[in-house]
Amino acid sequence: MIGFIYVYPILVALLSFIFLKETLPQYGYVGVAFIIIGVLLLSIRIKQVHLDTCIWFIIAIVLLTAVDEFFVKITTTHLSASQGFAANGIALGIALSAGLIFPSVRKKFCKEIHNLKFAGLSEIFTASALLTLYLAMAELPATIVSSIAAIQPMAVLFFERITNRFVGKITKDNLLLPKTGAMILIVVGVALLYLSV
């Protein structure tokens, strides 16, 4: 399913072209296409996907992710990356804290206190990823940053392999060979984007 979501760089490229006048050389756009095709091939088992039940959720996630990354780029054109990151953190903290006005949320929040160490570790990774996004958007075109960010399923596959080997099986999918072509497309796409900078 995640492969469908990672078509959002197409929308980021379109928004950046229309509003920021960002353009890439033609081979840069070929690189974007290679990355997206590779991610789709890496992530999707069409037989297992029931599109009729989740298509609206996928469309919403694609649109929201694209608009979010586009606004990160807009932010970095007016503020420094650290200021944008701080503003994002403050806004997110206020939005999440507002949920505590509801008694049911407060009750569940108290039950989750024992998971604080895992939540803290997760937030460290999330904050690191967000800061990296702001720093990248401050220095590179939005199309390139979004396209490179779309290779996340490749990292998930890597961590999945490590977990399967050292912790125990978490997935039934052990077929690495069919995914090799997808990974080659992604690597070639990233190389073409790198050349277009």
pLDDT of residue 70: 93
pLDDT of residue 48: 59
Per residue in 100-131, is it b (16+ CB within 10 Å) or e — as a string?
Answer: eeeeeeeeeeeeeeeeeeeeeeeeeeeeeebb
**Average pLDDT for runs of 10 along the chain of length 197:** 74 90 88 85 63 74 90 93 93 85 81 81 91 94 86 77 75 62 83 79
pLDDT of residue 68: 92
Dist CA 1 CA 171 (whole Å): 15
pLDDT of residue 75: 93
- By the 8 A CB rule, do 73 and 137 touch? yes
Per residue in 36-61, is it b (16+ CB within 10 Å) or e — as a string?
Answer: bbbbbbbbbeeeeeeeeeeeeebeeb
pLDDT of residue 1: 59
CA angle 62, 49, 158 (to 5 degrees): 70
pLDDT of residue 166: 79
Domain ranges across the chain: 2-196
- By the 8 A CB rule, do 41 and 182 touch? yes
Dist CA 82 CA 70 (whole Å): 17
Dist CA 143 CA 155 (whole Å): 20
Q: What's the farthest any 2 CA atoms get from each other in the chain?
A: 55
Query: Taking the complete model, does pTM exceed 0.85, yes or no?
Result: no
